[in-house]
Amino acid sequence: MCPTPSGWKERIEEEREFKAGFFAAHPQSPIPPEDREEFKGLDYYPPDLAYRFELELHEHPDKKRIKMAYTRGEEQEFLRWGEFKFKIAGKEQVLQAYKSDPDEERLFVPFKDATNGKETYGAGRYLDLDLEKHLKAEGKWILDFNGAYNPWCAYSENYTCPFVSPENWLRVPIRAGEKKYKK
């Protein structure tokens, strides 16, 4: 855990409001058009600093290619780029970060946790870590589960999404970020 950054909670709330507006009205929203009139927004856990970390990325010297299965049966290759090590509830955790291309400046961190299927989407949630937004000057990455989101296949069968690899299944609950979508 790290000190509260200035405006942290406000930025989270602003991002959530923006996403709700996008989902409610934008033509590219994953909410099916016939459901948008009744769409009342998304459900989130309250922002909690206990789920925000500034961590070193332990980059893998050998970037192995792995295939992630998708909800419609297809597969996509990802590079196993590095891992984050942290503690939640006094327990050591490790999450792998992936890239779809070596030149990509974003890390993809899909994860499952003990809330899946009950409080959160059953297939897991995702974090996207952008170089400009999440990499600090001293080289640490901001891993903030308050930004965890559901894949678009949680809202509509028109989308396909990667399943979370078992190496990113956490046995602890992550009560931060987006909850299960209730239509």
Whether 180 maps to a domain, the answer reads: no
Residue 181 lies in a domain: no
Q: Residue range 56-71: average pLDDT?
A: 95
Q: How many domains does the chain have?
A: 1
> What is the residue type of 110?
P
Higher pLDDT, 85 or 158: 85
Q: Are 121 and 183 in contact (CB under 8 A)?
A: no
User: Tens digit of pLDDT for each residue in 131-141?
Assistant: 999 999 899 99
Can you give the residue range of the structural domain that contains 87? 8-168
Whether 141 is in a domain gets the answer: yes
Write the DSSP symbol of residue 171: S
pLDDT of 60 over the 90 cut: yes
Taking the C-alpha atoms of residue 108 and residue 96, their distance in angstroms, rounded to an integer, is 9
Residue 49 forms part of a structural domain: yes
Q: Locate 110 and state its tokens.
A: 């899909």
In a domain, 174, yes or no: no
Phi, psi of 105 (to 5 degrees): -100, 15
Per-residue pLDDT tens digits for 144-157: 999 999 999 999 98
Write down the H helix ranges in the chain: 8-25, 131-134
Give domain status of residue 182, yes or no: no
User: Is 173 strand, coil or helix?
Assistant: coil
178 belongs to a structural domain: no
- Quick check: is 112 in a domain? yes
* Mean pLDDT to the nearest integer, 18-24: 96
152 Rama class: left (phi>0) / alpha (psi -120 to 50) / beta: alpha
